[in-house]
A and B are shown apart, each in its own frame.
Chain A
Amino acid sequence: MPEATKPEQNDQSVWDRVAASHEFRDLMATKKIFIIPAFIFFLVYYFMLPVLVGYAPHFMSIKVWGNVNLAYLFALSQFFMAWTIAGLYVRAGDDFDEISKDIIEKALEHENSQGAK
């Protein structure tokens, strides 16, 4: 990640310009495509556990292997679900960093060209 310098604090136009730029909107779109589905998926997957355990205890008590039941296996699967989503997010995060690097470079270029005039 490049070193970020501080644009003028009071100059809101810098932030508005960056926020409206194509690159920034691209970044937000790229993030949303990953984050929103991932967030919804993990919430649904996680809350299925207390709902099933609470409202369908007999179903969850079905033994799968020896004394190991569905309830325990489903709980255990939550750990792997969490690790998988985290792993995928870190991979997606590299893309976010790339785009965000561009945005910073553009913003600094603009800043410098303004200063030179």
Chain B
Amino acid sequence: MSVPLLMFLVFIAITLGITYWASKRSSGSSAYFAAGRQIRSWQNGVAVAGDYMSAASFLGIAGIIAFQGYDGFMFSVGWLVAYLTVLLVIAEPLRNAGKYTMADVLAYRLKPRPVRAMASLSTLTVSTFYMIAQMVGAGALVALLLKGSGISYHTAVIGVGVLMIVYVVFGGMLATTWVQIIKAILLMAGTLLLSILVMSHFHFSFAAFFDAIGHVTYHEKGQEVVKDFLQPGLRYKPPYGPLELISLGLALIFGTAGLPHILVRFYTVPDARTARHSVVWAMALIGSFYIMTTFLGFGAATIVGRDFIATHGGTNMSAPLLAQALAGDIFFAFICAIAFATILAVVAGLTISASTSFAHDFWTNVIHRGEERKPGEEVRVARISAFVVGAIAMAIAIMLGPTANVAFLVALAFAVAASANLPVIVLSIFWRRFNTAGAVAGLGVGLIASIGLILVSPSLMAIDPPTVTGAARHLIQAKAWFPLENPGILSIPLGFLGAILGTMLSHEPTSTHKFNELLVRSNTCLGAEKALAKH
């Protein structure tokens, strides 16, 4: 048995052990979905960071920087600064007003059934988008890691899917919280170690490191080129590059506050103060991590090189290949195991938010009108929907193949979240006049606009020369209708517009009457669900 495989199995055994231990301790709905509301601020902060730093951060950003330099660092910056939106606008009101899902906040003063149905659809869409990217990363990683052993990309995708389902079905939220914490610590440690190794390669001279970044050599169309990778514009070129950067920025800044698996974390803490402090913990960890993508990405560009990475698994494999180049096979296996654990944990977090939303919003509140007919039914439905969501994500990831950059794929999920979820959350907390028609219109327009624009963007539509074959060929062979890869700049305003127009064109007195209740609840903790007393 090879070293990488052995390290994998050890790690998976440890995490599953924790899941089993947690499943012994959790019982009842509040424990399954919200970890009994007794998570502390540092724990929640580390768990938020764990949920957030996915394959996109570790594998994707390193890959974009290694291939296109400075422009890739824009992902790092946006993904941290986005937490200011979460901290200043979303975290505390959500903690005070919500119960388990985003739809709980909306259902406060709007008609619950249509709002829950739409919110559930949007949650499932965003989670699936996000999850597909993780599956692509996992598949590519394991295929590279176990090269020659006969395990293919397809098998790897199915393997991750099955593990994830085991996590969620047996552990619930408390188990995934602990998995996130362990994984976040491992990821930080691995990244720090890798950064130190990169600097030691340059004899701890920042001057030498940045000097090397100024002369990155690789081959393009058979020609040797030398580029300054600290120069902006290698990825986002005119004429649409600048707009693309702004569109990406909008999606990242406003998407985070609409991510269902991040929002659900704020229901696991006892009060607003803990929610606030946990965001700050998360920002400290996430920020330090993203600054270190400088070493991961530029390190891979200068030490490993584009040419080698391109022929050994593609952009997503830059960080693991850097580890191999710097410290050999065992460290390579260690970094791969961390990347794998990262993906597994994020996928588990996503699955639980998607399945919670389906069970709590759609099953219990839409289909059965808020009555739990048999005790424990909601938990059972959540477990079944975890299987279904996992299977859908696996199927699409297998269809897409291992080539697409995962940071780019995740940025699309952020665009969908920013366009559909954020407008209705913000308007429902801050706009007295907001009503059910507005929420349904906002969610609907945001979803359709963001997904529609992605479908007609250059990532899916282009005319390839006949030499391009297989997965690299664009899905629709025609000139793209929308010039930008990320739809945020147009779809976010459309989401807001839909919500505002829907509200203005309809009349619903109750939503206005109940605004005071939501306003008081979300700003004080008056009437908020108490932390469950420890028995």
Which residues from chain A sit less than 8 Å from chain B, CB to CB? 1, 3-4, 6-7, 12, 15-16, 18-19, 24, 27-28, 31, 35, 38-39, 42-43, 46-47, 49-51, 53-55, 57, 60-61, 66-69, 71-72, 75-76, 78-79, 81-83, 85-87, 89-90, 93, 97, 100, 103-104, 107
Contact = CB atoms under 8 A, between A and B. Distances in A.
Given A15-B516, A27-B524, A53 B74 contact: yes
B336 to A, nearest CB: 28
B523 A100 contact: yes
A12 B232 contact: no
Given A53-B74, A67-B210, A89-B88, A6 B527 contact: yes
The prevalent SS among residues of A at the interface is helix
A21 B530 CA distance: 24
B291 A76 contact: yes
Nearest to A36: B88
A4 B245 contact: no
Interface in B281-312: 283-284, 287, 290-291
B517 A90 contact: no
A3 B231 contact: no
Given A15-B516, A24-B524, A51-B242, 16 more contacts: A4-B525, A12-B514, A43-B253, A50-B74, A50-B249, A53-B232, A54-B243, A67-B210, A67-B228, A75-B77, A79-B80, A83-B284, A89-B88, A90-B280, A97-B272, A103-B520
Sorted nearest first, the 8 A-B pairs with minimum C-beta distance are A54-B242, A50-B245, A67-B214, A15-B517, A19-B516, A100-B524, A67-B210, A53-B232
A72 B230 contact: yes
6 contacts: A7-B527, A15-B521, A39-B85, A54-B243, A82-B80, A85-B88
The prevalent SS among residues of B at the interface is helix
A113 to B, nearest CB: 17
B83 A86 contact: yes
Contacts, number: 162
The size bracket of the interface on B is 35 or more
A12 B517 contact: yes
Given A67-B210, A67-B228, A86-B283, A7 B248 contact: no
Nearest to A85: B84
Contacts of B277: 90
Given A18-B526, A72-B73, A82 B283 contact: yes
Contacts of B284: 83
B519 interface: yes
A28 B523 contact: yes
B287 A79 contact: yes
Given A4-B528, A76-B291, A79-B291, A69 B520 contact: no
Contact of B280 (A68, A86, A100): A86
B516 A16 contact: yes
Contacts of B74: 49-50, 53, 75
A78 B81 contact: yes
Interface in B266-288: 271-273, 276-277, 279-280, 283-284, 287
Contacts of A87: 280
A106 to B, nearest CB: 10
A89 B253 CA distance: 18
Contacts of B514: 12
A89 B283 CA distance: 13
